[in-house]
Amino acid sequence: MVFNRSVSLLSRLRSHAQHRVQQQSNLSNSFRWIQTQTVSSDLDLHSQLKEMIPEQQERLKKLKSEHGKVQLGNITVDMVLGGMRGMTGLLWQTSLLDPDEGIRFRGMSIPECQKLLPAAKSGGEPLPEGLLWLLLTGKVPTKEQVNALSKELRDRASVPAGPVLCISFIDFQSVIDLERIMSLKAIDALPITAHPMTQFATGVMALQVQSEFQKAYEKGIHKSKYWEPTYEDSLSLIARVPIVASYVYRRIYKDGKVIPMNDSLDYGANFSHMLGFDSPEMQELMRLYVTIHSDHEGGNVSAHTGHLVASALSDPYLSFAAALNGLAGPLHGLANQEVLLWIKSVVKECGENITTEQLKDYVWKTLNSGKVVPGFGHGVLRKTDPRYTCQREFALKHLPDDPLFQLVSKLYEVVPPVLTQLGKVKNPWPNVDAHSGVLLNYYGLTEARYYTVLFGVSRSIGICSQLIWDRALGLPLERPKSVTMEWLENHCKKASEN
């Protein structure tokens, strides 16, 4: 009898919570519509995009009709067997990676972004919201536009938080708490020992129940309008991933004591705050970190995965969650945790006052054991990664005497000549991962296993920006041709006979 009454009560509570969630959702949608109508079009990112899209659609149409048969290069067997390196095959509007110059965001280098994008303070690091505006529009935003976008992201982040919250940290004081209890608790279903990226990707998947694209598609939205619910999902996703990511961090490392968002802080500073780091320098580092990690053209594993999955018209939540699972691989985003662990192993074995010769011996020891030196080399770049360079400049400004930074500086001198001597490395220079862990470690974020989650939060900006343009331009389902080794052998045999 008691059990039946409990089930009945639970059912009524669930029904009540679902009703309140629907009310809240309707109110949120109404508020967003009113907000879109009343905010100046100069400050409204959606309006800016809506004006741009027809022109870009015509541009794509002209490319296809006038130049569709133009060859971009020859495909070799090496390209097929070598991970498609050097094979041009993707349209990616938001950034372009030059082997010698490094990444350009809509044509702008990292130093140019640091100089031209709005910052929280004079001479400070660029605000990630400014880069988001740049990636979507190709235009440098004003401070007013960035402030408006920052507020919009905060508003989107607050509705609703349910799918990722833990039941044990809710005070049961309000109907909102009840709604959270009734919502998915996907992250808490995982053991606390699960890798942070596993928990992060799971939390993002749980957010998918809020997808506007899925709802619109099921209602029969015309394909010419796909970009609009994709835009809604993408901005909401970008807004909410810091909450999911910070929850994962606090759950694993800080006894689950959650820190709420601060409505007066920008995107990067708020993420730092929710993690538990409120120093102005750490907030500046997070702004820089998120900005430079946001996008790296479309061929890397996470970006390509997001684009590929979305080409099947999977919504941005599903697509980005898939991208995160690619980012979690040791040959991609997981490398940034490997760098700090390797550097600490150097210190443990050789001490902080290691000489250049000792360091060179340790590098050779690593290579001779069949391992790589993490943080060096890149699949495309043939020079020092400018993302490394700007982090080095940050360190020289804020932590020049830090022992680990000094060790990283020595590695910059020692490793490239060793790798060049090895003769098998096309790019012996440091990449973005070679420096980020040391900076984070200095400001107290010492948990290297978590570092890839920071990368994932950053990458949401680039991937989601491109997903919006994928749908705006009507890009098709990705479906390359695959072949067998027998096919390649026969093809090569015929080619040699001709």
- By annotation, the residues acting in catalysis are 332, 378, 433
Q: What is the C-alpha separation between 485 and 81, in angstroms, rounded?
A: 10
Quick check: 150 and 127 in contact, CB under 8 A? yes
Q: What is the Cα–Cα distance from 214 to 458, expressed in whole angstroms?
A: 24
Q: Are 289 and 436 in contact (CB under 8 A)?
A: yes
Tokens encoding 433: 């991962």
Cα angle vertex 361, ends 356, 363, to 5°? 95
Could you tell me which residues come within 8 angstroms of residue 479 by beta carbon, excluding any fewer than 6 positions away?
none
Residues 6+ apart with CB under 8 A from 216: 225, 228, 229
The contacts of residue 378 (CB under 8 Å, 6+ apart) are 385, 427, 429, 431
Angle, alpha carbons 144-148-153 (nearest 5°): 145
